[in-house]
Amino acid sequence: MPILSRTQQQTAQLGQLLRNTGGRQKLAASLGPSLRRRRDYMSIARKALMVETLPDGALPIYDKEFDETGRSFVEAFIIGEEGGDIVKVVKPRRVTVPTFEIVANPMIPISQIKERRFDLVARSLNLAKAEVGATEDGYVFGLFDAIAAAAATATVSTGQYDPVYNEDRAAAGTKIIPDDLADCFGEVQRHDLSVSYLFFNPRNYTDLLKWTQENIDRETQRKLLKTGVMGYLWGATLLQSRKVGFGCVYVLADAEFLGVVPERIPLTVMSADRPDLRQIGFSIFENLGFLVFNPSGLVRLLVPGSFGANSAVPFLANGSNFAEVNGLPAGGGEF
């Protein structure tokens, strides 16, 4: 039997530990924490929509209610095939929602696993899951911006009295005040809908931090704060995300009256090792679609001075449109 050197023994031990979850946990226990730039992203956009798990073989088809004339009376918005353009379906009686994959493929060189003094495999998995969640939120907020853009066109002649769409509201100044959000609540509630969620960019939410306690019920549990829940306003939940365009606030009705996320495959992790490249890899993916069937349940508040002049679409610091840079439909910026 050959005599192994200390390095060879350690390498063999490392290989044994990496083969199963228990071994990786044991290895992680002996390592120190990594130095992290920020917390992992927490997906929050699907809170605003109903999530339906599709049985095997089922199609994501949804029938709409009719108005007094027997016709479907509200337009629907979906993300197109392969996560492409946003599609507006006019007066649909039945809507078929395309599903597509959101994927992340972290690859970890074995040499880096040996060099790093933290559980590189676990961190790579967590970062990849966060990446999938951030992409998902980008699609949802992009969908909201597309509906707001359609509302801007539809309300040119009808204004705030449009029977379906809610025109964008503009903040009275460069800071959000209670009157601004009260007007937004009224836009949604005039359709016999109650407001359930408000989504902010963190830089815009700072305006609410300056409000008195009489106006807002602040969340103090750190566990919930980490998930983006910041507090409650007049019965609605306040959430913040860096994926919300700077200068935009989305005021949304209850999920059952707004939209659906048909989920064919939930977030799944599969092994995708590359022995020829000496890399441990994973394929992290989900298969789902996005539908907003009731534009009446959404109104967008624009805060002047937060983005490009005379523009309703969030811009990055370099002046580029977020959607164009990231290959997404208009909206859902990160700033």
Q: Which domains does the chain have, with CATH numbers?
A: 38-326 (3.30.2320.10)
pLDDT at 115: 79
C-alpha to C-alpha distances, 94 to 9, 19, 55, nearest whole angstrom = 64, 49, 19
pLDDT at 104: 92
Residue 324 phi/psi, 5-degree rounding, is: -65, -40
Report, in this order, helix, strand and coil percent for the chain, each rounded to 5.
Answer: 35, 25, 40
State how far the Cα of 200 lies from the Cα of 259, in Å rounded to an integer.
19
pLDDT at 314: 45
Residue bearing tokens 């390095």: 7
State how far the Cα of 195 lies from the Cα of 186, in Å rounded to an integer.
9
pLDDT at 69: 57
Give the tokens for residue 319. Answer: 């002046």
Strand pairing of 291-292 and 107-109? unpaired
Q: Please provide the size of the chain in residues.
A: 335
Q: Model pTM?
A: 0.78
pLDDT at 31: 57
pLDDT at 258: 93
Residue bearing tokens 């507006």: 88
Residue pair 131/286 in contact (Cβ under 8 Å)? The answer is no
Beta strands in 100-210 (DSSP E): 100-104, 107-109, 169-170, 195-200
Residues whose CB falls within 8 Å of the CB of residue 302, separated by 6 or more in sequence, listed in order? 168, 169, 170, 171, 247, 248, 312
21-29 and 6-18 helices, crossing angle to 10°: 120
CA-based end-to-end distance of the chain = 61
10-residue averages of pLDDT along the chain (335 residues): 61 74 65 65 88 91 72 80 87 87 90 78 86 93 93 82 87 90 93 94 91 79 73 91 92 94 92 88 92 92 66 39 40 44
